[in-house]
Amino acid sequence: MNIRYLGHSCFQLIGQEGVCVLTDPYKGVGYELPATTSADIVTISHTHFDHNNLGCVKGVKAVCSEVKRYEINGVEIQGFDTFHDKNQGFLRGKNTVYKIQMDGICFCHLGDIGEDLSDSIIKRIGKCDVLLIPVGGTYTIDAKEAKKYVQAIMPKIVIPMHYLPEDGALDIADGTEFLSGFGDVEKYLDGEYVLNVEMSKSMPENAMKIVYMERVKEL
């Protein structure tokens, strides 16, 4: 299956049968979504402008924006509430984390999670194969906090998101600090990572790979 990073917290997860799940379409971050962005299913972690630009996505058949379980076109999606800040949502409200199961692979998209790591959060996230995690700070957890999440969850693959690219306009950090200290970092500057499903399933439980992606600018 293919994982495409479109920037900010937005990914296209494209399954072996062609079903496409898109996360958190954005606007107003200094750059725009590719004009031809499309998806069958869209997940929305919260309603802030940089995560809820649904109108720019073509072909959408279903939208996941609630804290509940969905089953759509063979894809299982479970959302659960977290906080967007360290003050139980007082500053920025709630954030929905989504676990997405497709082609036998479990993805976890943390949205704009901002609360401190806790046993409750780790229990609800549980095991996942691919963790999509914000690292830029200011509005979310920062690089140091993201590393704590990674070490507690121990997914097979970690993909950082919500960091500042060269043409970004938000007051967040780039991915440099998060990547430092990890020995196994694979970089994909064209924004696309082909995930070998069988290889992922066979990876040892204690193995972990960091995949850094620069965004796709044209589809």
Q: What is the pLDDT of residues 76-121, one digit of tens each?
A: 999 999 999 999 877 888 999 999 999 999 999 999 999 999 999 9
Q: What share of the chain is helix, strand, coil (3-state, %, to 5)?
A: 15, 35, 50
CATH code for the domain of 130: 3.60.15.10
In a domain, 219, yes or no: no
How far is residue 26 from each of residues 54, 91, 101, 129, 172, measured CA to CA in Å? Answer: 8, 21, 23, 25, 15
C-alpha–C-alpha distance, residues 37 and 154, integer Å: 31
In a domain, 218, yes or no: no
In a domain, 43, yes or no: yes
Could you tell me the residue range of the domain that residue 50 belongs to? 2-213
Q: How confident is the model at residue 72, as a pLDDT? A: 97
Q: How confident is the model at residue 93, as a pLDDT? A: 83
Count of structural domains within the chain: 1
Q: Where are the beta strands (DSSP E) in the chain?
A: 2-7, 10-14, 20-23, 41-43, 62-64, 69-72, 75-83, 94-102, 105-109, 130-134, 157-161, 185-188, 192-194, 209-213
Tens-digit pLDDT profile for residues 56-65: 999 999 999 9
In a domain, 195, yes or no: yes
Q: How confident is the model at residue 91, as a pLDDT? A: 85
